[in-house]
Structure formats: structure tokens, C-alpha cells
Structure 1
Amino acid sequence: MNLPISPQVKITFSKRKTIGLYVNGKGVEVRAPHGTSKSYIQGFINSKQDWIVKKLNEAQAKQSEKYQLRDGSVIPIIGENKTLEITMGSRNQVIETNNTLFLHVSRLDQARINKVFSDFLIAKAKQLIPSIANEVAEAAGLKQRLKDIKFRRTKTKWGHCTHDGRLQFNWLIMMAPYKIIRSLVIHEVCHLAHLNHSQAFWDLVKKHDPDYLLSKHWLNVHGHKLALFE
């Protein structure tokens, strides 16, 4: 059965010269040049039917693997699994033990649970990541170039380095193992010296993180599980 153009198929027109097809957990998007006819787009979708079905199945499988903020769920914090216990209390707070993460929330709704957990992860990130970044920057002789560290949840990047020495990290990385977090920080700190992915950049990364390829592979395989709020 052909996939018809429908509300589930998003069509975006722009000044681009070619037509493109993108599939994620939310559905199918066709990006086409201005003036592309509906019949041409439908034919393009039909020609890619098998590929679309395959990618939709893959996206749905990844969606089902994402960690869920539910009472009794198991959530990794810096790679250590914690059982989530959610209760209503007079104020919002998180209490972390060796095996359990107690979320006390003033309202038992998902938006409040998400906010309390997000604040907890951001606080963890602010506590851990700057210490790693400063340590690596010192070892690499880049301390003077490191100007600031910010945290932001982004959809496509785990980290970012600006030309003026400001690093940005996605705080959801705090659910990854420590080795992966450290590898990400090393990657971004090394961009303070080389704002590119040249051989010199990778040589510097390898000097401070000999197993960086293993960490990169881990994120490629498991990173989607950390995207809680998409």
C-alpha cells in the first residue's frame, strides 16, 4: 500500500534545488523546491515506500527504547541504574540513594515530573562537567581559551564549542556512563584549539581520550534512549 500525502506527511517548501525525504519518530517529512507539484511529491513518496516503512519501524523501535519517567522505571544517572519512586510532597525535590531516585513533586502530573527531573539533571551537569572541562583544558594548555560553560537541551547535538571559547552541553548526557560524559567534554574542550574536525583535532582528542571511538560508538547506539522529552 502506498503512503498517501496526509497530515502525517509534512511537506516543507524552500529554495532548495532537489527533493529530500526525512523520517523520524514523529513521521515523514518531504522537503521540496518551491513549485513542486503534489503529484510529483506523491510519486516520489511512492518510489521510496519500502525505505520509508523500514525507517518508520526503526524510529518506532528507538522511541520504545527511550527511558520513561514513570514510577518504578529504571533510570541511569551517570551510568548507574536507579529505580524511580515518584510521590507527591509539599515541595519539589529529588533525593538520590545508591539504588533509588526519589522524586517528590507538588503535583502528580507529567509536566511537573519532567521539570523536577530536568532540574535535577541540570544540577548534576553543573556539578560534574565544569570540573572535567577545567581539568582537561589545564592538561591541554587551553585554560585561557575556556571562557564559559552553558547547558541546554538540544535535539541534534550533545555538545558545542563557539569561536570565542564558550562550551555548551546537553544536560541529558548525565544519564550516560561517566566515561561517555568525559569523552564528550574532552571532544568539546579540544575544539578550543581546533574549531574543526581536522587531523590535528582528532590527534589532540586521542591524546586525552585514547578510547574516543568507543565512546562515539556508544552514543551512536544508545544516545537515542536519553532523549526523554521529545
Structure 2
Amino acid sequence: MSHFKLDMLKIKHSKRKSIGLYVTGQGVEVRAPIGTSKAYIQQFVLSKSTWIEKQLESVQNKTNEVYQLRNGQALPILGELKTVEISLAPRSGVIEHQEKLCIHVTRMDQKRIEKVFADYLLSKAKQIIPDLVSETSAQLELSHRVKDIKFRRTKTKWGHCTHEGRLQFNWLIMMAPMKIVRSLVCHEVCHLKYLNHSEAFWKLVRTIDPDYLLSKHWLKVHGHKLSLFE
């Protein structure tokens, strides 16, 4: 069980109307209206102490579930678990076998190992996702709306679509099952027509991804496990 103390608080004041409480891996943050007294904030936080303890415990449990990039650990590549083997080699790179993932590095440094693995996932995303975008956008007659495809590791989003038709994907999705990757691509491509989450948008999603709710649930339950890097 976590042991929450008031000195762990991070307090932010802004032009908001009510006080809010947020618990993340970085700690406990209170967002309060400008002028809110420290005494009131402390009283509010203490009244929520049981809830905070539960949230901190939940965050810690999720942190413990994150896959580890270590020798002998199992990592999913497109949902298939592979045993990691890290070794020194003249050139850095990753060789994927049926049951193993051989990571070659020029020096045994964790940051270097992470960089090599990140480059591998990015390369894999660039090989797979553009083809899925092309296939899906053609199916929906939206190919003309695709202006660019970019890849970026973000903390809160798996994908993004702009008004200009630029699609962005988090390359960590390469650790999820292929059906989840397809679902993510379908979701973002549908945003090329509806840049919102209206009923019309979800109706379009269902036409090409009838099981999208299962994929959405999978990411909600398992997505945090893929966050290998800080």
C-alpha cells in the first residue's frame, strides 16, 4: 500500500472554477482556482486520502506490469512473445526469430540498448503502417485525403489525425497484436472524413472494423504495458 503525504503534492493554480485532483506516475497533482488557500487544498486532499491511496497503488501496479527490455525477458512483437537476447556485436541491430529477439549492441549500455530497440520498432512501423493506411483509405475512398504519415512516441496517444490529413502513429503499437494495429489505423483513417467522435464517425469505423470496441478495450487494459521508455 502506498503512503501518501501532503508534502508529495504538486499544486497548480489557474483560471478554473473548481478544484481537481490527478494521480499519475509522477505523483499527486492538485489543480485549483487562483486564490485557493493552502489550508483549503490540504483539507480537500485529506478528505480524498483513501481514494488517493487506491489510485497510487493502481499506478504502481501498472508500472510493475510494463514490459522490461532485459536479457531473458519476453517481449511481444505484434502480439507474439519473443525472448530477448542482448549481445555485443561489431554493428548494432535487431534480428527477429520465431521465438527470439536478438538485440546486438556495440556496448552494453541500457540507453544504447533502448535506442537500438526503439529504432527497430520504428522501422517495423514504417514497413507495416503505411501499407495499412493505403489499404484502408482506398477502401473508404479517402486516399486523396492522406497528406503525410509520421511516427512519434507519445505518452497519451496511439494515433492522431490533423485537418490537413496528416496521420501520426506511436511506434510502440508494434508490440500490440496485429488486429489492434489494424484497428488503430482504421480509427485514424476514418478521422480523415470525420475529425470528431460523432455517431457518423463511429458508423464509418464499424463498416471496416466491426470489432473496434474489443480493440479499444484491449488498449485500455493492456496499453500501459507497452510503455517501455520513460
- Would you call these one fold, judging by a TM-score over 0.5? yes
The structural deviation recorded for 1:2 is: 8.4
1:88-123 CA-partner distances (Å, limit 9, x unpaired): 222211111111111111221211111111000000
2:114 maps to amino acid: N
Quote the Cα distance in structure 2 between the aligned partners of 1:223 and 1:182: 15
Quote the Cα distance in structure 2 between the aligned partners of 1:50 and 1:126: 45
**What corresponds to 1:36 in structure 2?**
36
**What corresponds to 1:173 in structure 2?**
173
Quote the Cα distance in structure 1 between the aligned partners of 2:41 and 2:5: 10
| Closer/same/farther in 2, CA of residues 225 and 2 from structure 1, 3 Å limit | closer
**What corresponds to 1:45 in structure 2?**
45
**What corresponds to 1:5 in structure 2?**
6
What is the root-mean-square deviation in Å for CA atoms of aligned residues?
1.3
| Closer/same/farther in 2, CA of residues 11 and 96 from structure 1, 3 Å limit | same
Quote the Cα distance in structure 2 between the aligned partners of 1:155 and 1:60: 17
SS at match of 2:5: coil
Quote the Cα distance in structure 1 between the aligned partners of 2:42 and 2:216: 37
Number of aligned residue pairs: 229
The structural deviation recorded for 1:26 is: 2.4
The structural deviation recorded for 1:3 is: 3.9
Map 1:10-159; keep pairs closer than 5 Å: 10-159=10-159
Quote the Cα distance in structure 1 between the aligned partners of 2:15 and 2:90: 54
Quote the Cα distance in structure 2 between the aligned partners of 1:59 and 1:2: 13
The structural deviation recorded for 1:34 is: 2.1
1:27-67 CA-partner distances (Å, limit 9, x unpaired): 11111122222211111110100100011111111100000
Quote the Cα distance in structure 1 between the aligned partners of 2:225 and 2:198: 30
TM-score, with structure 1 as normaliser = 0.96
> Quick check: 1:158–1:170 contact (8 Å CA) kept in 2?
yes
1:122-151 CA-partner distances (Å, limit 9, x unpaired): 000000000000000001000000111000
Unaligned runs of 5+ in 1: none
| Closer/same/farther in 2, CA of residues 147 and 2 from structure 1, 3 Å limit | closer
> Quick check: 1:2–1:49 contact (8 Å CA) kept in 2?
no
The structural deviation recorded for 1:222 is: 0.5
Question: Structure 1 residue runs of 4+, over 6 Å off?
Answer: none
Unaligned runs of 5+ in 2: none
Question: Are 1:204 and 2:229 counterparts?
Answer: no
> Quick check: 1:3–1:46 contact (8 Å CA) kept in 2?
no
The structural deviation recorded for 1:13 is: 1.9
1:193 maps to amino acid: K
Decide which moves more: 159-168 or 10-19.
10-19
Quote the Cα distance in structure 2 between the aligned partners of 1:196 and 1:37: 38
**What corresponds to 2:223 in structure 1?**
223
SS at match of 1:95: strand
Decide which moves more: 25-34 or 162-171.
25-34
